[in-house]
Amino acid sequence: MPGMTRQDSGAGHKPRRWIAGTAAVIIVLVIGTSVLVSGVLSGEEPAATVLTTAPAAPPPPVEDWYDLTAYQTVESGDGHETVASISIGVGKEPFSRGIRGSAVSSATQPANFRTWSTAGRCTRLSVWIGKDAASPQAEGVGQFVIRADEADAVTRQAGIADAPQHVEIDISDVERLTLLDVRAGRDAANAWGTPRVFCAAPPGKAV
């Protein structure tokens, strides 16, 4: 019948449209996958937006006082001994972290000395000087020299009956800082109380 023929004909076209649409999707997927695989195999990478940031600035140097006896020297004699505390002359209060110079030492044959590399990082030196109050000898006058590079910046003298002398000097341009003391064989030992430097970085490696 004519009606039946049109109905059958319409029903027969629907599967063909679905198959054609599905095939088109598959073709697109296959082509896209092929492009992606070929890009990977060829080493090509998709363009990406790269965000760059400036490197963090290093923290500013921290200036502080550093105990010289806690840091390695670049040169030293055999007559200097680090002590936990030391009393100087007629002073009543001991100084923490000191140096005792007990060997025979002179300007031409120094034995009591230490040299640190301050390398322009330090601006001030602070130290107390005099004779070691606990020394078994009680005579003689010791000479104390603070040397900035090759020049003698400070020279002081002290005996066992003298009070501690405080020395604070500018060492801003000093590369090598030396503490030297002179002592005869029967003199009381020399003493450096709390030698420290004000620096932007430590004056050497920690002991």
Which pLDDT value is given to residue 28? 40
Please state whether the predicted TM-score (pTM) of the whole model is above 0.95.
no
Rounded mean pLDDT of 167-194? 97
At the top level of CATH, the class of 64-199 is mainly beta
Rounded mean pLDDT of 152-177? 97
Rounded mean pLDDT of 20-40? 42
Q: Residue ranges per domain, the chain?
A: 1-52, 64-199
Q: Give 45-54 pLDDT, tens digit per residue.
A: 555 555 566 6
* Contact residues for 129 (Cβ-Cβ < 8 A; gap 6+): 88, 144, 156, 158, 164, 165, 167, 181, 190, 191, 192, 193
* pLDDT over 80 (residue 87): yes
